Amino acid sequence: MSTIGVIFDLDGVIVDTAKYHYLAWKNLADNLGFEFTEAHNELLKGVSRVTSLEILLDIGKVQLTEEKKQEILISKNEEYLSYIKKMNADEILPGAEQLLDTLDALGIKYVLGSASKNAELILNQVGLYHRFHGIVDGNSVSKAKPDPEVFLIGAVKLNLPPKNCIVFEDAIAGVEAANVAHMTSVGIGDKNTLQEADFNFNSLTEIPEGFFSKFII
């Protein structure tokens, strides 16, 4: 049994569903009468659905009742679900399956640690659900990243201490959560944005051969 384990964020690491969130949030903003851009969408990365709505309403300077907010959150999620129900294996990001193959060959277990409440559905849609040793998602946690709760539960599922876990993340809040949990953080994406990560790569295709050997005791 390996002395290390890996925790993957989902969106922006294994698949890219940000585009579908963007379309759903943009349609919502359009209906409320203001512009929501791709730059605005970056503010919602790794953030819970409820907080995302608050950010969006703040951008549009729109005030709504709690009842209306709940109504909007349900309709936004229904629209988002209509997009992800059409996903397939073509939407797995480059390098992801090869990395999972490498981990399998090394006997390293891996789990998912995502804020998404639709993580299981997405992994099933792209055919990767059966490969993960466990799933920790938005249905399993009470605190959003940068709180480390999602990753600490992931460590329990791996049956490993946090310091033996390596986290792959594409969001600042996720990297921060991994660091707070005293895990090794690997930032996937812009190095300047994710400068707090212990390691940085533009994509999973750049993970060097032998990367994990330095962690195995």
State the DSSP H helix or E strand holding residue 199, giving kind and residue range, or none if neither.
strand 199-201
CATH (residue range 5-15+89-214):
3.40.50.1000
Report the pLDDT value the prediction gives residue 136, as an integer from 0 to 100.
97
The edge-to-edge listing of strands for the beta sheet with 134-136 is: 134-136, 109-113, 5-8, 165-169, 184-188, 199-201
Residues of the chain with CATH 3.40.50.1000: 5-15+89-214
Query: Which residues does residue 115 pair with via DSSP β-bridges, in sequence order?
Result: none
| CATH class held by domain 18-84 | mainly alpha
Residue 11 one-letter amino acid:
D
Q: Is 200 helix (H, G, I), strand (E, B) or coil?
A: strand
Q: What is the predicted pLDDT for the residue at 217?
A: 64
Residues of the chain with CATH 1.10.150.240: 18-84
Res 167 pLDDT > 90: yes
- How large is the average pLDDT for residues 102-127? 95
Residues 6+ apart with CB under 8 A from 48: 115, 138, 144
Residues 9-54 have pLDDT tens digits of: 999 999 998 889 999 999 999 999 999 999 999 888 767 789 999 9
Q: Note the pTM of the prediction, 2 decimals.
A: 0.88
pLDDT-derived band of residue 97, with 50, 70 and 90 as boundaries? very high
**Mean pLDDT, rounded, for 114-125:** 93
- Across 175-193, average pLDDT: 97
Distance from C-alpha of 132 to C-alpha of 169, rounded to nearest angstrom: 16
Identify whether the C-beta of residue 150 lies closer than 8 Å to the C-beta of residue 177.
yes
| Dist. CA 58–CA 11, nearest whole Å | 24
> Considering only CA atoms, which of 144, 143, 146, 165 is closest in space to residue 154?
165
In this model, does residue 68 exceed pLDDT 70? Answer: yes
| Mean pLDDT of all residues in 122-150 | 94
Catalytic residues: 9, 11
What are 192-213's pLDDT values in tens digits? Answer: 999 999 999 999 999 998 999 9
To the nearest whole percent, how much of the chain has pLDDT over 70? 99
**Phi, psi for 127 (deg, rounded to 5):** 80, 25
Average pLDDT, rounded, for the chain: 94
